[in-house]
Chain A
């Protein structure tokens, strides 16, 4: 199954991905980005927005 993954070595915990998510499928808890897979539609908005290229869709 495809799912969204965050590369924690790249992530700068900035919250930009949270600001563009229409589905309330992510949350930034201090420095830890949580992705709620049950709500994520893989719409790619956050992937395109991430300044650090830290998000990708994986199998």
Chain B
């Protein structure tokens, strides 16, 4: 199908974009990579009155180291650029590992890093990954103070965030991980580039006695939002990271998820996937934490 009529604006700077968004109010919508929005418009599931295109704002595309050893990523940085950045690979190997699974290369060439988070698709990877990495999102709008929102607080429901009509997500900051941290991603999908039936990512930090200093786990595709597990912390922090403990986490998180059934997999099947994927991811993260990466 074809999109419904809309007005189009292509501001050349962030300030201009904020002015336009403030002026348009409910009528306006941000166009980033368009890899979700234009598809939805072609189906007429989305019928925005006006689009404010960010593709002509070069100042929104960058990957910059922060003073504390983290990274700041401009919202319009293409997922493909994040996937292939040596800077990202060095500090956050989890990102290229995950990005590889997002859609197809042609989608990642255009889809933006911030757009994928702002879209808050419950089957998408990056909203959950931003959460498990403790990312901070910079939200700007005209006439208001800049706001820093934790990725964990950004997403409030399926396809719903605290980003309002006049707001722009401009930057995502990833704080550095302590030494002896390892991370990994696991997913099962029907085919390459297909949305995952179930997925998880874990980040483990070891103390100098090889006990778990910190453990973070995000469960994706098995609820209305990416779910940050509390159970993993209850079971692992301060403990020896053993295979048995990882299996216990896989069982315990069952109470935290609420997968639905669809054509591609039943709720029971998705639960079972999580039971298997969680210990796998934790074991891989442990191995990497021991290597200090």
Asked whether A and B interact, the reply is no
